[in-house]
Amino acid sequence: MDSNPIPETAAPKNNRNTIIAVVVAVVLCCCCVVTGVGGYYGYQTYIAAQQAVEDIQNLDIPTDVPFIPVDPNGDPVIPDFDTSGEIPAGGLADDETRIVAWASVQLIGIMSECTSPTVDGTTISVTQEPDASGAWREEWNVNCGDGSSQAFPLLFTPENGIVNVTVEFQP
């Protein structure tokens, strides 16, 4: 029996697996490139931050700057900070706020040639009553301890339950 074998037709080739493999390979390559670029820039940032920290640590801060004002005769004047615990009376501020204000006035006074500010003879006058925000201004006429006095304008600003004190510096 002769039979003619029927040639089998080849099944159509399926490229789906090849396409998936190529797509996965491309995605992995992109992920590697993104990770490499991110790592490079991250490392560069780390190096720059490390250099900034070293620069700050190596910063030379001068500590030998003297603060000794000189009087008209050429003699050095040693500043005297009032540590008696007394504070000037008057004004609108409470005692705690006046303590802060007095310390601030003394520091500014010493920097502006009022070398020995003292409570005795220091007067406080209100120059501006509290406004809508509660802020007010006072002028402290400070006894400099050497027979002279100097006026210092202060601004009192209530904020979050405390009163901020600003001494307006006049060189």
Q: Using CA atoms, how far apart are residues 90 and 123, in angstroms rounded to an integer?
A: 7
133 pLDDT more than 90: yes
The per-residue pLDDT of the chain, averaged, comes to 84
47 within a domain of the structure (yes/no): yes
For residue range 77-116, list pLDDT tens digits in order: 556 677 777 899 999 999 999 999 999 998 888 888 887 8
Q: Are residues 170 and 126 in the same domain?
A: yes
54 pLDDT more than 60: yes
Q: Which contiguous run of DSSP H or E holds residue 104?
A: helix 95-111
- In the chain, the number of structural domains is 2
What is the domain range of residue 47? 15-62
Q: Are residues 50 and 123 in the same domain?
A: no
Q: Using CA atoms, how far apart are residues 132 and 128, in angstroms rounded to an integer?
A: 12
User: Residue 167 — pLDDT band, cuts 50, 70, 90?
Assistant: very high
Q: Which contiguous run of DSSP H or E holds residue 121?
A: strand 118-128
147 within a domain of the structure (yes/no): yes
Q: Which long-range contacts (CB under 8 A, 24 or more apart) does 23-26 make?
A: none
5 within a domain of the structure (yes/no): no
Q: Are residues 71 and 57 in the same domain?
A: no
Q: Are residues 167 and 85 in the same domain?
A: yes
Q: Using CA atoms, how far apart are residues 115 and 137, in angstroms rounded to an integer?
A: 24
7 within a domain of the structure (yes/no): no
Count Cβ atoms within 10 A of the Cβ of residue 155 and give its class: 0-12 exposed, 13-18 middle, 19 or more buried.
middle
Q: Are residues 74 and 156 in the same domain?
A: yes
Q: What is the mean pLDDT of residues 144-154?
A: 90
Q: Are residues 85 and 158 in the same domain?
A: yes
For residue range 4-41, list pLDDT tens digits in order: 666 666 556 678 888 899 999 999 999 999 999 999 99
pLDDT of residue 154: 95
Residue with tokens 């400099």: 144
